[in-house]
Amino acid sequence: MGFKGLLLAAAFISAARVLTFFLPTQGASDLGEMPHIESESGQPYSSLPSAVFPFSPDAEVHNPVQAEPNISQAPSFTAGCQSAGSAVVTVYAGREIGSGSIVSPDGLVLTNNHVVNRLRRRSLYVETLEGNRYNGQVIATDRRNDLALLQIETQAMLPIVQLASNQIVEVGQSVCAIGSPLGEAGVVTEGRLLKIRSNGDLESDVLLKPGSSGGPLLNAQGEMIGVNKGVAKRSKTGKSDRNSFATSIDAVKEFMQQNRLGSP
């Protein structure tokens, strides 16, 4: 190869390097994209973001049951939902705020994995509706079903959210959610169960907001039938029914049985 040939080869290699540097790698995902799953209807839904602590003191916080009711409910239904309120806690995981359910008197708390998965070395504690605070730690997670189990430090016997039988979960039944949207504890929203998806997830029309993640979806008796985890993602046209999604009680029971301390 002559001198001109060497120069041409060197120029070709340099051009190839420049193209390699500027062309995006095939299959690379966009940073910051919220994870979502395609629903059976083709409408994606995404994990509901946690509220960030400290949030703005000027943020508008209100009880959606009073201001934005989804449907009219009998007083007995509301009373059944609110009976579980003392066992629903606000989860403070570093700068993230979510919700959780006390599921054993010795301090096991069920919440979403996405509420605690960025905790790292930051502190974790929960606060009850009465204002009692307990330090805790994550003892198990399930990324596929977006579940996490916490153990809080307490010598007291705590109230619990009762788990419903999966045989009594039916489309059309009245449901409610309890959580801490924007850090306001004990907010109840009501609606109906719209669909049981093929993977077992529950779709309802209860209103959820940041901070509601990890709270219970309850039946009229105040029993947990699911763990709230996300809302319908808006389409490109900006339209969305904003339905909410919860991990089913079947998946919850299996997760707890596999990961409870002291279980075989």
Taking the CA of residue 208 as centre, how many other CA atoms within 13 Å lie in the half-sphere pointing to its CB? Answer: 38
Phi, psi of 230 (to 5 degrees): -170, 170
The answer to whether 129 touches 162, Cβ cutoff 8 Å, is: no
Is 36 one of the annotated active-site residues of the chain? no
**263 classed as catalytic:** no
Under 8 Å between Cβ of 111 and 48: no
Name the CA dihedral angle for 163, 165, 171, 177, rounded to a multiple of 10 degrees: -10
Distance of CA 111 to the CA centre of its chain: 7
Asked if 189 and 216 count as a contact pair (C-beta separation under 8 A), the reply is no
* Residue of 46, 47, 99, 114 marked catalytic: 114
Q: Which of 46, 213, 244, 248 is catalytic?
A: 213
- Report the alpha-carbon distance of residue 135 to residue 158 in Å, rounded: 14
CA distance 214 to 47: 10
Q: How far apart are CA 86 and CA 156, in angstroms?
A: 14
Which residue, 7, 216, 193, is CA-closest to 101? 216
Facing residues of 126 across strands?
Answer: 91, 134
> Percent helix, strand and coil across the chain, each rounded to 5?
20, 30, 45
Please pick, among 99, 146, 204, 248, the residue that the annotation labels catalytic: 146
Q: How far apart are CA 195 and CA 172, in angstroms?
A: 8
Q: Which residues are catalytic?
A: 114, 146, 213
